[in-house]
Amino acid sequence: MYSEKVMDHFMNPRNVGEIENPDGVGEVGNARCGDIMKVFLKVENDVIVDVKFKTFGCGAAIATSSMSTELIKGKTIAEALEVTNKTVAESLDGLPPVKMHCSVLAEDAIKAAIEDYRKKHHQ
């Protein structure tokens, strides 16, 4: 049901963890629905130099968290904002239809973290 890429990112997730004193944090979803994604950003000169995540959720939720953090690492804020749920899903060689909301959650988590970064840095 999952692509090999999804399974790879589920089994070997990239960028798991937290960042101390992050420049931006975004948390979306809720435990009631069975999905929470929390993304931490370290930003230098408008570039995302480090990103970490913590996720409570299914295999697809973990894989999309992993893939989305990989997609924005080293990118500028503007570039990171161009990452959509579709990009995340396509980079994972697709997701089952019932799991598409996980990729939406990943996009939302990144946007929420960037929003938090902008608020903190008055941009």
* Chain residues that interact with another protein, rule: CB under 8 A: 2, 7, 10-11, 13, 16, 27, 31-38, 54-62, 98-99
d(CA 103, CA 84): 8
Chain length of the chain: 123
Nearer to another protein, 49 or 98 (CB): 98
Q: Is 33 a catalytic residue?
A: yes
Identify the DSSP state of 76.
Answer: B
Nearer to another protein, 30 or 46 (CB): 30
Q: Is 58 a catalytic residue?
A: no
d(CA 49, CA 46): 9
Active site residues: 33, 102
